């Protein structure tokens, strides 16, 4: 699996190494992680898996409480943190490329990336495009050919809002496959990848756009067929059977970084604790196994470096969104 450090929506990526372990006086009394989606999605995965790892490694002395706050592609949670929880030292919030996308497009009304503090990343999750397990479509090229013939025949379901990261991944693939007007590609937004897959299973939509970690359980249960993973080459281990878009002649790479932000006015001691703790989790052997089992690629950014990365991502996404007519 290739190492990655920086990601924009075009799939440009690189890698950064972690820092040294430091002891901190602060410890959260009631650690809490907000997942800005329903249970089972990527943000929920981020909160629950990292919270478990922190407790297993004794970085926190009590269980991480996970609160699901779905709505607005993460906007409900973002506004809640900015307006009502902006000095909570015990709180971190799951974030991803979808968060940067919504900020870039002004989809969190009145909110900007500078209203929170950016903690760190715990890896990146390559995008996938799939269909129901019993679908007659067996490749990404077949699906794109179907859209070329009749754009109304395929509706994609994703866990981000319209214009969000799940939507953009499909538009990038469509553009690379030769669909000149990507605005004709149909997309339906749901609150989380799990709900999107449920709609595939129900037959209300024809295709799924999400991330490898979201798709894995549904592939194992026999409900979802992955047509393509948007990685530069096939992943290792359990994901090795997923064909890439590139090997099907559609040269697109898209990875969803996963990490955390925190309230802007939390104390410096609390911020340092969370930055360090996320770094400790990332560096652990336990987390390396979690990454491998869930298709996460390496991405280790923390503190100021992570903030710079998010700022660059927001700028890149804004440019792409203008290019394809999503924003002016």
What are the pLDDT digits (tens) for 265-290? 999 999 999 999 999 999 999 999 99
Please state, rounded to an integer, the average pLDDT across all residues of the chain. 89
pTM of the model: 0.73
Q: Considering only 78-87, 303-312, 318-327, which range has the smallest mean pLDDT?
A: 318-327
Are 198 and 40 within 8 A, CB to CB? no
41 versus 134: which is more confidently predicted?
134
| Residue 217 pLDDT | 87
Please name the helix (run of DSSP H) or strand (run of DSSP E) that holds residue 273, with its range, or none. helix 268-283
Please report which confidence band the pLDDT of residue 129 belongs to, taking 50, 70 and 90 as the band edges.
very high
pLDDT of residue 164: 82
**Which domains, and CATH codes, for the chain?**
32-125+256-323 (3.40.190.150), 126-248 (3.40.190.10)
- In this prediction, residue 23 carries a pLDDT of 55
Q: How confident is the model at residue 42 (pLDDT cuts 50, 70, 90)?
A: confident
Question: What is the separation, in whole angstroms, between the first and last Cα of the chain?
Answer: 37
Paired tokens of 173 = 């693939």
What value does the mean pLDDT take over residues 57-83?
95
* Among the listed residues 144, 308, 298, 148, the one whose alpha carbon sits nearest the alpha carbon of residue 231: 298
Q: Give CA–CA dist 261/312, Å, rounded.
A: 16
């Amino acid at each position: 699996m290739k190492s990655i450090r920086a990601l924009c929506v075009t799939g440009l990526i690189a890698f950064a190494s972690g820092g040294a372990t430091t002891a901190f006086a602060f410890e959260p009394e009631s650690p809490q992680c907000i997942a800005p989606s329903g249970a089972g999605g990527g943000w929920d995965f981020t909160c629950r898996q990292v919270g478990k790892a922190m407790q297993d490694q004794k970085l926190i002395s009590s269980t991480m409480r996970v609160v699901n706050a779905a709505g607005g592609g993460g906007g409900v949670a973002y506004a809640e943190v900015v307006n009502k929880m902006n000095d909570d030292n015990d709180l971190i919030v799951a974030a991803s490329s979808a968060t940067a996308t919504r900020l870039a497009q002004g989809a969190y009304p009145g909110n900007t990336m500078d209203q929170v503090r950016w903690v760190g990343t715990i890896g990146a999750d390559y995008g996938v495009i799939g269909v129901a397990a019993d679908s007659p479509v067996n490749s990404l090229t077949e699906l794109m050919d179907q859209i070329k013939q009749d754009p109304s025949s395929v509706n994609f379901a994703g866990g981000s809002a319209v214009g969000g990261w799940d939507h953009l991944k499909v538009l990038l693939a469509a553009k690379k496959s030769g669909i000149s007007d990507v605005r004709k590609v149909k997309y339906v937004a749901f609150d989380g990848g799990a709900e999107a897959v449920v709609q595939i299973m129900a037959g209300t939509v024809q295709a799924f756009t999400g991330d490898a970690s979201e798709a894995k359980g549904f592939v194992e249960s026999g409900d979802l067929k992955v047509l393509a993973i948007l990685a530069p080459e096939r992943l290792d281990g359990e994901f090795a059977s997923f064909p890439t878009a590139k090997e099907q002649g559609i040269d697109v790479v898209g990875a969803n970084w996963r990490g955390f932000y925190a309230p802007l006015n939390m104390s410096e001691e609390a911020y340092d604790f969370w930055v360090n703790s996320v770094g400790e989790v990332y560096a652990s052997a336990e987390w390396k196994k979690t990454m491998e089992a869930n298709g996460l690629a390496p991405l280790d950014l923390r503190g100021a470096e992570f903030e710079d990365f998010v700022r660059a991502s927001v700028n890149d996404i804004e440019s792409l969104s203008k290019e394809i007519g999503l924003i002016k």
